[in-house]
Amino acid sequence: MYNISKKHKDYILLLVKLVIVFGSLYFIYHKLVNNKLLSFSELQQQITVLFSKNIWALLLILLFTDVNWLLETYKWKVIVSVEKKITFFEAFEQSFASLTASLITPNKIGEYGAKALFFKKKYRKKIVLLNFLGNMSQLAVTTFFGFIGITYFLLYFTINIPYFNSKKLVLIIAITIILFLIIKKIRFFKSVKIYVTKISIYLKQIPKVIYVKTIGFALLRYIVFTHQFYFLLKLFSVETNYITLINLLFCMYFIASIIPSLTIFDWAIKGSVAIWVFSFIELNELTIITVTLLMWLLNFAIPALLGSVFIFNFRFVEEK
């Protein structure tokens, strides 16, 4: 009976691998070939324009991608060391495999499950929490610079903010308070409170040096991919000054980060936000969409292809 169940388990695992990998490959292909914002022929033309320029600049752009993912790998290695020491290659494998799994799941949910499965069952809940901590560190950095960017944006650009009825605002706040009070009385809330308390105790036990390193790697990653976007804009002959461009990028990444989406549509979300943000300096929409798509290809699609190799090589950790 054990052999039969193990055989079925292997078949199910293989099926899951095939769904994740081929699902991701299909979505990448679909976004490149059937793209409503940017046709494949237009993308080819834009890339040709890039290659006709400074080849060393393009190599620098590719180097940004390598550094971005090296930093993400080191960040994960540092975070997970709270529970288990892993090698750089193991962190690399887990980061890329989880990226592939996240492509077809909302808000990177697949990333949490994929990373957890690389560890024994006793570690998995904590691994999910540590992964959440890593993502929150990146969001914290994005939010910090986002506020800087939005402050600059509000100071130097005029935005037409629609009128909002104050009575509606009061009503929304009142309803929110009432719902909160009702939920507080429900037994479910007490259960949630217990879990929150346990999580709080666990997070306090993590050494401060881990938090510092995690934020440090998140900060370096943010600097890398925002400047990768900046240099791509410069390759397309965007002449706007550095301060303005970088602050608009801060705005774009912050706004895009608070919009729920599938990772596969991440470029489209950022593209739509970027079109609106950069419209204030009258940048060409085709340039914005092209750069956004190239960023997605370099930092998500291509690494996801590498991650698919690790997905196929995945084996459940044997419990002892």
User: Is the backbone of residue 237 left (phi > 0), alpha (psi -120 to 50) or beta?
Assistant: left
Q: How far apart are CA 166 and CA 171, in angstroms?
A: 9
Consecutive H or E run containing 289: helix 285-296
Domain count, the chain: 1
Contacts of 218 (CB under 8 A, 6+ apart): 75, 134, 137, 138, 140, 141
Considering the domain boundaries, does residue 188 fall inside one? no
Q: Which residues pair with 106 in a beta bridge?
A: 262
Considering the domain boundaries, does residue 171 fall inside one? no
Three-state SS annotation for 218-257: HHHHHHHHHHHHHHHHHHCCCCCCHHHHHHHHHHHHHHHH
Short-list 244, 246, 253, CA closest to 271: 253
Kindly give the confidence (pLDDT) of every residue in the chain, 320 residues in length, as a single tens digit, with 9 standing for 90 and above.
444 455 555 545 545 555 555 555 555 555 555 555 555 566 666 666 666 666 777 788 889 999 999 999 999 999 999 999 999 999 999 898 888 877 767 667 778 888 888 888 888 889 989 999 999 999 999 999 999 999 999 888 877 654 445 555 566 666 666 666 665 555 555 566 677 788 888 888 899 999 999 999 999 999 999 999 998 888 888 888 999 999 999 998 998 887 765 555 555 666 678 888 888 888 877 888 888 888 888 888 888 888 877 776 666 555 54
Considering the domain boundaries, does residue 286 fall inside one? yes
Considering the domain boundaries, does residue 180 fall inside one? no
Considering the domain boundaries, does residue 230 fall inside one? yes
Tokens representing residue 77 in the block: 């290695």
Considering the domain boundaries, does residue 200 fall inside one? no
Contacts of 273 (CB under 8 A, 6+ apart): 252, 255, 256, 259
232: domain range? 2-160+208-313
Considering the domain boundaries, does residue 202 fall inside one? no
Short-list 73, 119, 116, CA closest to 96: 73
Considering the domain boundaries, does residue 301 fall inside one? yes
Whole-number pLDDT of residue 2: 45
